[in-house]
Structure 1
Amino acid sequence: MAQLLGAQRDDTRLLAVIVHSAFYVLLAASLMRWLIRHSETRSTPLIVVLSVVIAVLYALSELRQSGRLVWFALLVLTWSVLVVLAPSFAWCAVPLVYTGLRILSERVAVILVVALTALVVVSQVRIAGWLDPNLVLAPPAVAAVTTALFVGMRRQAERQAALIDDLVRTRQELAATERREGTLAERQRLAMEIHDTLAQGLSSQRMLLQAADLVWDSDPPLAHTHLRSAAAIAERDLAEARRFVHDLAPADLAAGGSLPAALVALAERATTATLTVRCHIEGTPGPLPQRVEATLLRIAQGALANVREHADATTATITLTSLDDQIVLDVADDGRGFDPGAQADSARHRGYGLPAIRARARQLGGTCTIESAPGDGTVLTTAIPRGPGAPATADTNADR
């Protein structure tokens, strides 16, 4: 677009140079014609002076933006006097028409064109001494063509300028939208990572510190054990925070660990005095893309966070099943369960648990389903295709 604007400005400048040059050539030619044919007349000095004045006024009307209309009005008035004295200067009307169309409003410019054309016709008929049809019709025809071409070109240029402005504005809006979407996507990513890692760690640390406080006086060794466990969790959460800020793989996968091993380690860490977490691996997952492994691990972390915070369960089971066309992750608990349909309306007001899980699954073309009922526990199933998958349709599940 910048190149288009530059080319348009170059064309305008080139046309202006041609018209200005044509004006001075016509002015000089008309003066020379007068001097050759009428050098002995008494009005010759006045004609020469008026020609010089017109040349100066034309330059001032083009070079000076302040008072430009005044200079142009003086130019037209002086030329009109000159045409009355020497009709051959009527040829300068065409550049004057161009200048008037360029700097005046369209209506005023048309009125000026009509007036100048009438003056040219009258001056030419006065020289001929009779009503020559060519002298009467040719100047209006030339003026009409010149005016129509210029007005058409100006309107087209205005439409192009408006189109370019719309394109520039649209590009700016698209850029702003992309920035906003990028910001929202990064914000959502951080929120999901915090929910699946730091939130769980902080919850575990709080419970360990509370347990240490309860037995601080009665059982100091146990209190110290709780403190050391809390410190280890804090160290691990710090490493996780550094990794997800830089959008790196989870720590369990960073050192080349496999997804099954990472899930087993997660189950061991999630096991507490009130919750037992088991992990089962069915089939051989084989090598998976790092993004798929990281997503499934984060989904398992988020599901266990939901179990600990909402389910009031005593046992939970992580099952990773490898099929020919997809990898399936199940997280089941024996908690109090819930009615997904009854909670669907309030889902958007809840936390990042299930929305984050569904978002992660959709990013890889997977699906997330929930089987639950009050008092019957909950089973969360996430299926990720092994090959490229289309974005999954919206899940009819509620948030926990």
Structure 2
Amino acid sequence: MEASRRQRLSAMDRVVDIGFAILLVVCGMRYFSRHPLEGVGFAALILAIGAGVSYAIAVIGRRSLDSAAHAAGLDAVGSRQAIGLLIATGFWLPLAVLAPSFGWCGFALFFAVHRVIRGRLAIIISAAIVVAVSVGLFLMSNGDDLGLVLGPFFGGVVLTYAYTALDRALDAQRTLIAELVDTREQLARSERDAGALAERERVASELHDTVVQRTATALLMLESDDLRGEQSTAVGKAREALRDGLVQTRQLLHGLADPRESGVSLAIALQAQARAAGAEFVVVGDERAVSDTISHALQRVVQEALVNAHKHAQATWTRVTLTFFDSEIGVDVADDGIGLAAAAHDSTMIDSGSGGFGIRAMTWRVENLGGMLTVESYAGEGTTVSAIVPDAAQEESRS
């Protein structure tokens, strides 16, 4: 649609430009066929050449600047066109007074000027064009034919008013189109968010009806065997694993149905997680709002790291640190536990891609946001899980 509109406007501009050239030539032929090339005639020739050359420079400047603006993705023309048309008008105004035959060029010149000039200046130039034509006709008729003078004058006034009203209507239309495009984008975002929410609810419902129900049933069967005295070490471990799996699955369901608490900052959410796990919580840097996507991912990383510290690390203390960098957000979960089994030497940086499922899940969440997850474990001295992700909103505000 935009390309079609540009083509229509470009065609109309070409018609106006060609029309001015034809009218200038026809009016010149008529005038010089009746007047000698001396005195006023010579002055008329100079003014006509000046108007034609200035107009041609404006047209060439417009086309070259239009090509550059189109290549740059801009909808604008340079000031060279406006300057060229103003100079052409400056030549034509005295020409229309000295040689009224050239008054017909005023029609094309009127539309050409309004093509690049808006507002009060355009009205002033339009009035000057109308007055020049009227004065030229008045002098030509020696003041005897007022109709010949008043007709073009009032016709020019009506044309100026109509063109100004049309220009205002076009500005209002462009504003309305911009608002409609913005509204359409907002509706599209709302539809995408609604679709994502519906998909989360569908997955949550499927998990509840399948995994949760079957896990709960298996757990009840094991506990009923325990009540009858049929207990073994393997059964006890299986029961504990099922119980932990059921708790984590229900937490996952809660995250799918309501992935984050509305209106709760990331710091408050992580502090609540740390307090529930009996861990310390520290904030470094100036706290700021972050996107829901980043907040949700970092909450899940902290949740998984705290669960691992509680179940496997045998830690006496755990600390969660939230750090606000200039254009990044980081979280660290450190403990003083026994460390990872792979850290058998003094200090080893564990490859996050080679860990268990929990580490792989955390890595996927962080790398999906363009960040990085590292797990550093010291044999017998604890483990530190670190995640850092870029804050896109902060980067855009700085650019």
* TM-score, length basis structure 1: 0.49
Larger Rg: 1
* TM-score, length basis structure 2: 0.49
